[in-house]
Structures are given as structure tokens and as C-alpha cells.
Amino acid sequence: MLKQPFLNISWVNIYMFITKRVIAGKQRFYLEETISQSSKRLKISVAINDNSELLTKFTELKNKVILELAKETIKKYKLQTLNFSEVIELEKLKYNYKLFKYFFPESFIQFDKDEFIRFAQGSASVEGNTLSLQQATQVIEKEVGVTGKSLFEIKEIQNLKLTKEFLQNKKEVSEKVIKKIHRLIMDGFSTKTPGEYRTSPVYILGSTHKPLIAEKVPAEMKKLMKFYQTNKQLHPVELASYIHIYFESIHPFLDGNGRTGREIMNFILQKNKYCRAIINLDNRETYIALLERLQESKEYYKFTKFVYSCLLERSKALEQVIIDNQKEIINQLRKKLKIQ
């Protein structure tokens, strides 16, 4: 049996290859992938009758792998809101993300930068920042100012880049990490007491929700961290969603709670190999309305559906990238395996 590695990305535990077998005196080729499942590995195969089938067989194998990954996910995590079809879509998102990163590493770097800029500009715009996507790109990538915009608005975008750089090497959410996130987000805004829990009341403009009195914030933040640590059996998208709503209901800082909360949520998502959930002016009204209602009703599961919808948009975009570039993926596979 001849086996040649096709895809070997250690950080995602995926191994894809072509296997040639001789069966009844005839050569048979299979496109296979081995995925990790708890303490064992599962091999998934599709037969290739001739080279012209590689494109459809690649898609067939991809769908089979995604299905098995989804099955493993529902064994590993407790689902309170998401259904199986939604879990499949989320696994497709993760899988296509990995494929994109492997096959098109240079393009992936640009994709990742674009995703962050959209996230940063969106997160700031939710709070009233008026920089456009192009202007935010200029600030983040070229590190220059924007004519006609205040230094405060520019600083808000720059601070989100500082926060991203800080979180890249962090592995876990903690009170210390949350305070550092806030300190970076509010860097240069000293009157907002960056990195320190508030000692005075805060009011959410236009909202009926009344955040905790200041003296209860430290204890409630400890409860939030305990909730996070004791609920890791929940699906990561559900857990990230719950943490965001819980955090916003506490409103622990004098200002910058929204940006901080969105950073925490997306940090949890990214550490579990998901893309960022981008919240911007397009979905701001839905987002704000949900925060308003759910902070009082505590029906956090409803916010999970919103976060899922944000990730679904990313999933569709990534799926299209893979579809549009399947021929190049197959070409790379053929060259690696020397199939003509």
C-alpha cells in the first residue's frame, strides 16, 4: 500500500491523503482523511475511479468529515440552544477556515487582517465611532490619522489593535485578562479609570436596565468567572454568548463595557477555532435590542441564536472561498501526489 500525505496540520488534528491499494489485482485509489475523536482516530474514505472525479470526491469527503466532526461535537459538549444542523454549519465554518489557512497561507493572512478590521470598525461603530471601514483600515494598517476625524475616534480603533496583540498569546479568560483588555481599550482615556472596576453608578442611555451597584461588582465578576469555569461543558458558541450577556448585565467598568464584552466573547470563540462574530451597524439594532431584553429576562439562549447568525455569515463567505478555489486546491493535490 502506498500512502502519501496530503494535508497535515498538527494544530487542527487533520490528516488527509491519497491511498493506492491493489485489490483483486487492480489498483484502487481512495481519498481519505483521519480525524481525532477523543482517544481514537477515525478514517473516512471515498473511492476515486478516475482523475476527473477528484473535484467531486474532495467535496464528498469534506462533507463526510464535517458530519463526523459535528457528531463528535455533540458528544463532547452539552447543547441548550443549538440544534444538530447548526452544529454542522459551525463545524463547516471551522473546517473551511483550516483548509483556507493551509492551501492559501498568503491569502489567509490578508483574510485574517480584513476580518479583524471589520470586527474593530464594527465594534467601535456600535458605540458611535464614525470611522468608515476604509478609514479604520488606514488607521490599523498604515497607522496614520484620518482627516476630519477626532483623535478620540482614531484612538478607539488603535486601542482595539493593541487589544488584539495582547490577546494573541493568552490562553484563558480571567479577571486579570478582562481588566487588561479594558485597560488597553480605554488607553488614553484616563478619566474612565482604565482597567479598574467602577466605584460609582453607571447608566445605559436609553435602557431600562439598571446595572449592579458599584460595591457588588467585584463579587459578581468572581461569580462570572466561576460560571465560565464550571460551564465549559457547554458548546463554545453558547458559552461565549452567555458570558457576553452576563458581563454586560454587570457593566463592571465606568465606560467601554460593550467593546470589552465583545472582545471577551470573540476571544472565547477564537480560542475554540471559530472566526470572530462581527457586530456592526448592519446588525446593531438587533444586538442592542437583545441586550436590553435579555439582561432582564436572563433568557441568554436567545443571544446564542444571534451569535450563530453572525458566524453563519462568516461560514457562507468561507464556503464560497473554498468553492471558488476548489480547482486550485485539486491542482495542489494533484501536484503533490503526481497525478496527471
DSSP class per residue in 85-129: HHHHHHHHHHHHHHHHHHH-HHHHHHHHHHHHHHHHHHHHHHTT-
**Sheet of 2-9: strands edge to edge?**
2-9, 14-23, 26-37, 40-48
Residue 269, domain CATH: 1.10.3290.10
Residues 258 and 115 occupy one common structural domain: yes
Q: Is residue 171 part of a domain?
A: yes
Residues 78 and 154 occupy one common structural domain: no
Q: Can you say how many angstroms the Cα of residue 86 is from the centroid of all Cα atoms in its chain? A: 15
Q: Is residue 338 part of a domain?
A: no
**For the chain, how many structural domains are there in total?**
2
Residues 294 and 249 occupy one common structural domain: yes
Residues 211 and 137 occupy one common structural domain: yes
When the pLDDT of each residue in the chain is averaged and rounded to a whole number, the result is 88
Residues 170 and 235 occupy one common structural domain: yes
pLDDT for 339 beyond 50: no
Residues 92 and 110 occupy one common structural domain: no
Interatomic CA distance for residues 89 and 97, integer angstroms: 12
Residues 53 and 123 occupy one common structural domain: no
pLDDT of residue 336: 64
Residues 120 and 260 occupy one common structural domain: yes
Residues 177 and 237 occupy one common structural domain: yes
Stated length of the chain: 340
Residues 298 and 158 occupy one common structural domain: yes
- pLDDT tens per residue, range 17-42: 777 777 777 878 888 888 877 777 88
Q: Is residue 187 part of a domain?
A: yes
- pLDDT tens per residue, range 42-62: 888 888 887 778 888 889 999
Q: Is residue 339 part of a domain?
A: no
Give residue 272's domain range. Answer: 105-312
pLDDT for 199 beyond 50: yes
Could you tell me if 299 and 266 are in contact, meaning their C-beta atoms sit under 8 angstroms apart?
Answer: no
pTM for this prediction: 0.89
